[in-house]
Structure formats: structure tokens, C-alpha cells
Amino acid sequence: MTIEPNESSTGGVPVSTDPVGADINAPAQVPSSPRKGMFGITGTGDVSGFGGLVRRHPEIVGTAKPYGGYFDEVTDALEEAYPGFADAIEKVVVDRGELTLHIKPERILEVAQIMRDDEALRFELCSSVSGVDYLNSDARRLHVTYHLTSMTYRRRVRLEAAIPAGGSLPSVTSVYPTADWQERETYDMFGVVFTGHPNLTRVLMPDDWEGFPQRKDYPLGGVPVEYKGAEIPPPDQRRVYQ
């Protein structure tokens, strides 16, 4: 497609806006690395301009004490109440006014128990359990985050544990019953196995569904859709249109 701009703005010379090197009959290309390109397209057929973007993944490093605010009180109380603190806590990160404790996955249940029961902590509520896939950015690509709230002291903290694909970590449902369906959803979408969960089955997708839809390497679009007699393939299998 050629757009004829106002010739007065180009000195009277018509300018073609055809994308250079684009083949409208070529299928969308899958980027070789998730750090480059967007929306699953790059190279031949990419007429969006997003294929050349390079996304940076800065390394998350621990924060040195003092953390400020109540963060020092929380970490000091946990260290005092939990003899295995030094071995269980991989790092403490304070970023944008939020406290995150990175926990070894096999210790997450122990830490959750102390976070709830210790009188100086009293994080009674687990408001959210969710997953993140850091494909090609972390060897332990699947991270599970737990958002805890202390209604006694009106404080918030985040716990985070990282496992490789196919790995597992203990369920915290025995400490926080609210984590039941949230762990099921994290299993359903990311394939994270929570050992000791009372009923770890899919909660959003059908029981016989193959794959985990929120993983970064899950095919775009899922299944073809039929609409008024025409079959529409998933986005990563469609031709490129101008």
C-alpha cells in the first residue's frame, strides 16, 4: 500500500511508505529470543516496527541494610524468630517502596508459618499467590509470589520463590487457606506443582488441556476459531497484512 502525502510537505516529490523488505505473503516470524521484538513477530513480514526493539532485563540484586521504614523491623523480627533465616533467605529487595523477601522454595512453608504466627510479625492474610515466567532470563524461570498483609500492624510484604520448569515447592494452604484456588490457578497457567495441596487440579482450563497458557513459550492464540464458515488460525500462524 502506498500513501500519497501532501506533495508540498515533500518538495513536490511523492514519497512511498511501503515497508522495506516486507513480504505480505510471509507468515509472522517467531523471535529467536524473547528479549528482542514484540508480539511474536520479527524479520520478514514484520511491518509493525516492533521487531527491532531490544528489551533489557536488569539483574535484581539484594538491598543492603538499613532498608528504611518498617522493613528493618520485619526482617529483624523474622531473623530472630526463625533460626534458619540466613540459609532460607536468598536476598532482600527493597524497590519502589515495597519489600520482597526471596525465599528458597523448599523453605517457603516454614517462612509463611512464622510470618503468620510470630507476635512481632502477624501477617494474617495471604491476599494473592501468582506466577511469573522469566523465560531465558533466569535458569529458574518460574517465580511464585505471595502477597502477605498484617492487619494487626497494617503492613505488607511480598515473598518470592523461584523454581525451574518442572520443579515444585510446598503448598502454603495449611497456613493460608486463601491460597487454595490461587495455587491451583498458578498450577493451571504456569505448571507450578505445589506439593501437599489438597486438590491440585486445573481451575480455569479443561482438565484435559495440554500446556500452560501463561508460559512465555506457549503458542500464541491457542486453538483455531471458526467464524461464519471461515476458520481463523491463531495469531502466530496468520499471514501478515499491510
pLDDT in tens, 148-193: 999 999 999 999 999 999 999 999 999 999 999 999 999 999 999 9
> Taking the CB of residue 54, how many other CB atoms lie within 10 A of it?
8
Higher-confidence position of 145 and 11: 145
CB-based burial of residue 60 (10 Å sphere; 0-12 exposed, 13-18 middle, 19+ buried)?
Answer: middle
- Structure confidence at residue 221 (pLDDT): 62
What's the average model confidence in pLDDT over 82-90? 94
Average pLDDT across the chain, whole number: 81
Determine which helix (DSSP H) or strand (DSSP E) holds 189, and give its type and residue range.
helix 179-190
Is the model's pLDDT at 17 over the cut of 50? no
pLDDT grade, residue 203 (50/70/90)?
very high
- Per DSSP (E only), the strands in the chain are 89-95, 98-103, 125-133, 142-150, 155-163, 168-170, 193-195, 225-227, 230-232
pLDDT of the residue at 83: 93
The CATH number, out of the four listed (3.30.460.80, 1.20.1260.10, 1.10.260.40, 3.40.50.300), of the domain defined by the range 71-195:
3.30.460.80
Tens of pLDDT, residues 100-136:
999 999 999 999 999 999 999 999 999 999 999 998 8
Q: What is the reported pLDDT for 8? A: 46
Domain regions of the chain by residue span: 16-56, 71-195
Residue 170 and residue 106 in contact, taking contact as beta carbons nearer than 8 Å? yes
Q: What is the mean pLDDT of residues 89-94?
A: 96
pLDDT tens-digit map of 24-60? 454 444 444 555 555 554 454 555 555 566 666 667 7
The winner for highest mean pLDDT among 64-68, 118-122, 136-140 is: 118-122
**What is residue 37's predicted lDDT score, i.e. its pLDDT?**
52
Q: What is the pLDDT of residue 61?
A: 85
